[in-house]
Structure 1
Amino acid sequence: MQLLINIDVDDLARAEAFYRDAFGLLPARRFGDDGLELAGAPLPVYLLRKDAGSEGAAGSARDYRRHWTPLHLDIVVEDLDAALARALAAGARAEGVVREAAWGRIVPLADPFGHGWCLLQFLGRGYEEIAT
């Protein structure tokens, strides 16, 4: 099995700048004016230009305002405070405070396209601290 990350955006150039500046992802391949593969993550990340209002899943219209979905991605970082500062400077919006648990620290974010992300810094043995 192979897993890909596809992110719909309404402005490919703006998305490229955000994901470069916030998370250090770099362009790998371009697919005309409507797609860009980003490198630098363990999985390929594809930015797909889709107009706001165009048909999305199940006939719903794409909307790039902040939206909630039970699926989100976590970016594991070595230094949460530095990563958060970089993401905010690139245009992310923090959606809560940094929380600490036995396994590490986490903060929820939204990108400029309405997608939810979390920055996560493992401490100690990470999830092994709470595994049963």
Structure 2
Amino acid sequence: MKLLLNIDVDDLQRAEAFYCAAFGLVPGRRFDGVIELLGAEAPIYLLQKAPGSEGASGSRRDYARHWTPVHCDVVVDDLEVALQRALTAGAVAEGPVREAEWGRIVQVADPFGHGWCLLQFLGRGYDEIQR
């Protein structure tokens, strides 16, 4: 299986600048209304979609902060450095850094309303809690 991540945004240039600055991604190919970003384990495609345009379920796109049961985690080596980089690029922190048996996590939102988690694994990561 090959995974592709598609992210709707209302401003391609602003989204490219954010994702490259926040997560260290680099632009790849460009299509009409699409920018491919490389540097993650899966390519990320920024899709320019106008606010208010119809989404897959008939709902209207809204780039204010929204909740969805699907979100992305970015695994980082140093949570404080990664968080500061994301905040400087325009992310908004959504709570404090939390500690767990497997590592540390902090939630952020990008400028387009999408939620992200920054994770720093410690010890054996998720294997610390494997049952």
TM-score, normalised via structure 1 length: 0.98
Quote how far apart the aligned CAs of 1:58 are. Answer: 1.2
Give the match for residue 103 of structure 2. Answer: 104
Does the residue aligned with 2:22 lie in a helix, a strand or coil?
helix
* 1:21 paired residue number: 21
Partners of 2:81 and 2:91 in 1: CA distance: 14
SS for the counterpart of 1:82 is helix
- 1:64 deviates by 0.2
For these two proteins, the number of residue pairs brought into alignment is 131
Question: With structure 2 as the length reference, what TM-score do the two structures score?
Answer: 0.99
Match of 2:45 in 1: 46
Between the aligned partners of 2:58 and 2:72, the Cα distance in structure 1 is 24
Q: Find runs of 4+ consecutive structure 1 residues off by over 2 angstroms.
A: none
Unaligned runs of at least 5 residues, structure 1: none
Residues 91-130 of structure 1 aligned to structure 2 (within 5 Å):
91-130=90-129
Distance 1:122 1:27 in 2: 27
Query: Equivalents in 1 of 2:28, 2:78: separation in Å?
Result: 26
Stretches of structure 2 that go unaligned for 5 or more consecutive residues are none
